[in-house]
């Protein structure tokens, strides 16, 4: 089976490289993904997915049907990218799709257009190898991951999968893992600390004390590699009571922490700090806002990504690891580090909210994501196609000669 998959994969390398290049050359800023969604839908139809459609959020969904089961493996990659300015100054056009040696450069190359291309072609590889599936394969190119806190993925799981009469039993994210098998990461959230007083000088004095208190904590907890707390300078607005000072604060969330509980702790600390200088009112609110998706629909986005983890002894991780080893491309388990505040994956939605065991397996490099001159290596894309196909077959494939996994999911 492995020789068959490797041979068929050789025949796909030129096409998947070209497709990844086209995805990078097609802008898809978060909440403005229509053009890249068009290209993905076109490619899914071209390579022969059994069903291809867009759901209410504008996600592009491709389905390869299995032998009658309602069980499905979900391959998830997002269409959208951050603004290039968020990454810093680029030395080349962010949408060039320039190929230099074995590196493909461009915005979203690692996060995660290279991974999305590999996932779409993994389905094609299984089809070309004529390896039947017991369960169903769903490849979802989702919207609003970056600016919408995985709003597209949430719609997919909340409504689209049930409308398909399919039940996701496992999920694989195409996010950058450098071909490692990742099973979780810490979270983060944003809140506003509001200080209200009758006069601006009083609000300003209290806000400065609060800011300094948390800035000191940020310096003690953070490092050059991983941010724990980030703060914005106080801003001032008029209010019915006089003046309000607002401090925007982002904080890392660890596995045992809940955003609301942490916000309550922050309020307690802020009240004590402010009372030392001024008798002011202090409130803390988790940030949320209404966002419009590219198809015109709106959704309320709460600026919270909770930490998540799939049990490292879950059969998903063990089967994926065994499949890759048997196929000659062993992968080490690990977790995303996500050093910059604001980075996340859809794993929290899958694992925490919908109880779907989830891993990450993608060709991109985490260090290149959200960074200037982002790139993905072509050999990694090619191997991700092969490796993803191995993982899918180990989970829902019909056993063939030489395949040692049992039949049960």
Q: Distance between CA atoms of 179 and 327, rounded to whole angstroms?
A: 14
Could you report the per-residue pLDDT of 325-350, keeping only the tens digit for each?
999 999 999 999 998 888 999 999 99
Is residue 354 packed enough to be buried (19+ CB in 10 Å), middle (13-18) or exposed (0-12)? Answer: middle
Confidence band, pLDDT 50/70/90 cuts, at residue 100 = very high
Specify the pLDDT at position 270.
97
User: What's residue 182's pLDDT?
Assistant: 99
The count of other CB atoms within 10 Å of the CB of residue 13 is 16
| First-to-final CA distance of the chain | 20
* pLDDT computed for residue 225 by the predictor: 67
Which pLDDT score is estimated for 241?
81
Q: Report the pLDDT averaged over residues 382-407.
A: 83
- Report helix, strand or coil for 316: helix
Helices 2-10 + 378-396 axis angle, to 10: 140
Record the tokens describing residue 49, joined without a space.
Answer: 């997915």
142 token code pair = 């989702």
Give the distance from CA 339 to its chain's centroid. 14
pLDDT over threshold 50, residue 276? yes
pLDDT score at 229: 93
Closest CA to 133 of 399, 404, 324: 399
Measured distance CA(409)–CA(81) in Å, rounded = 34
SS3 content of the chain, % helix, strand, coil (to 5): 35, 25, 35
What angle, rounded to 10 degrees, do the helices at 200-221 and 259-275 form? 120
pLDDT tens column, 195-204: 999 999 999 9
Q: Does residue 308 register a pLDDT over 50?
A: yes
pLDDT of res. 401: 61
- In this predicted structure, the answer to whether residue 224 has a pLDDT above a threshold of 80 is no
Residue whose pair of structure tokens reads 């601006």 in the numeric block: 200
pLDDT in tens, 180-190: 999 999 999 99
| Cβ(109)–Cβ(364) below 8 Å | yes
Angle between helices 114-128 and 378-396 (to 10 degrees): 50
Task: State the CB neighbour count (10 A cutoff) for residue 261.
Answer: 11
Confidence band, pLDDT 50/70/90 cuts, at residue 222: low
pLDDT of residue 87: 67
Cα angle: 208, vertex 211, 216; to 5 degrees = 125
**Model pLDDT, residue 312:** 94
Compute the average pLDDT of residues 306-313. 96
For 42-95, the pLDDT digits (tens) are: 999 999 999 999 999 999 999 999 998 899 999 999 999 999 987 679 999 999
H or E stretch including 243?
strand 242-253
- The full set of domains in the chain, from first to last, is 2-185+307-396 (3.40.630.10), 187-290 (3.30.70.360)
For 283-295, the pLDDT digits (tens) are 999 999 999 999 9
Residue 376 has pLDDT above 60, yes or no: yes
Q: Which of the 8 DSSP states describes residue 357?
A: -
**What's the confidence (pLDDT) of residue 221?**
75
Question: What average pLDDT does range 211-220 have in this prediction?
Answer: 90
CA angle, 332 as apex, 326 and 334 as ends, to 5°?
145
Residue 165 region by backbone torsions, left for phi larger than 0, else alpha for psi between -120 and 50, else beta: left
pLDDT at 402: 52
Q: Token match 């600016």: residue? A: 147
Categorise residue 149: left if φ over 0, alpha if ψ from -120 to 50, beta otherwise.
left
Which pLDDT score is estimated for 405?
44
Among 307-311, 377-381, 402-406, the range scoring the smallest mean pLDDT is: 402-406
CA–CA distances in Å: residue 155 to residues 56, 58, 149, 293, 352: 8, 10, 12, 12, 15
pLDDT score for 3: 94
Cβ contacts of 197 within 8 Å, gap of 6 or more: 203, 206, 241, 242, 243, 278, 280, 281
Query: What is the spatial distance between Cα 73 and Cα 57, in angstroms, rounded to a whole number?
Result: 20
The pTM (predicted TM-score) of the whole model is 0.94
Instruction: Give the CA dihedral 363, 366, 368, 374, nearest 10 degrees.
Output: 50
- CB count in 10 Å sphere of residue 231: 18
pLDDT of residue 97: 98
Task: Assign 302 a pLDDT band (cuts: 50, 70, 90).
Answer: very high
Sign of CA dihedral 378, 381, 385, 386: positive
Residue 158 binned pLDDT confidence (cut-offs 50, 70, 90): very high
- 163, exposed or middle or buried, with CB in 10 Å at 0-12, 13-18, 19+? exposed
List, as one string, the DSSP characters of 54-115. E-TT--EEEEE--SS-SEEEEEEEE--B--HHHH---SS-TT---EETTEEESTTIIIIIHH
The pair of structure tokens assigned to 167 is 């039940």
* 406 pLDDT higher than 70: no
């Amino acid at each position: 089976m492995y020789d068959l998959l490797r041979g068929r994969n050789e025949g796909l390398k030129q096409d998947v490289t070209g497709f990844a290049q086209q995805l990078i050359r097609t802008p898809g800023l978060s909440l403005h993904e229509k053009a890249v969604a068009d290209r993905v839908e076109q490619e899914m139809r071209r390579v022969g997915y059994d069903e291809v459609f867009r759901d209410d959020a504008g996600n592009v969904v491709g389905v390869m049907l299995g032998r009658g089961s309602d069980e499905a493996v979900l391959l998830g990659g997002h269409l959208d990218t951050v603004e290039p300015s968020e990454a810093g100054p680029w030395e080349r056009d962010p949408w060039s799709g320039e190929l230099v040696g074995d590196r493909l450069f461009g915005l979203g190359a690692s996060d995660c257009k290279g991974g999305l291309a590999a996932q779409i072609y993994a389905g094609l590889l299984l089809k070309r190898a004529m390896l039947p599936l017991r369960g169903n394969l769903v490849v979802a190119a989702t919207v609003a991951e970056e600016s919408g806190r995985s709003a597209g993925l949430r719609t997919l799981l909340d409504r689209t999968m049930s409308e398909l009469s399919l039940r996701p039993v496992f999920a694989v994210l195409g996010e950058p893992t450098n071909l490692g098998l990742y099973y979780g990461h810490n979270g983060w959230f944003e809140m506003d600390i509001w200080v209200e007083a009758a006069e601006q000088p009083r609000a300003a004095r209290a806000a400065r004390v609060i800011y300094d208190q948390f800035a000191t904590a940020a310096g003690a907890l953070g490092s050059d590699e991983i941010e724990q707390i980030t703060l914005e300078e106080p801003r001032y607005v008029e209010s019915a009571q006089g003046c309000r000072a607002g401090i925007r604060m982002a904080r890392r969330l660890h596995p045992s922490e809940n955003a609301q509980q942490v916000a309550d702790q922050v309020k307690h600390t802020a009240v004590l700090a402010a009372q030392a200088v001024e008798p002011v009112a202090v409130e803390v609110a988790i940030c949320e806002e209404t966002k419009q998706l590219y198809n015109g629909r709106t959704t309320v986005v709460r600026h919270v990504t909770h930490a998540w983890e799939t049990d490292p002894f879950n059969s998903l991780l063990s089967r994926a690891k065994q499949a890759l080893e048997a196929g000659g491309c062993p992968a080490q388990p690990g977790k995303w580090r996500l050093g910059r505040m604001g980075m996340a994956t859809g794993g929290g939605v899958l694992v925490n909210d919908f109880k779907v065991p989830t891993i990450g397996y993608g060709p991109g490099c985490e260090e290149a994501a959200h960074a200037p001159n982002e790139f993905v290596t072509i050999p990694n894309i090619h191997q991700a196609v092969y490796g993803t196909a191995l993982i899918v077959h180990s989970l829902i494939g019909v056993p063939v000669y030489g395949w040692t996994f049992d039949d049960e999911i």
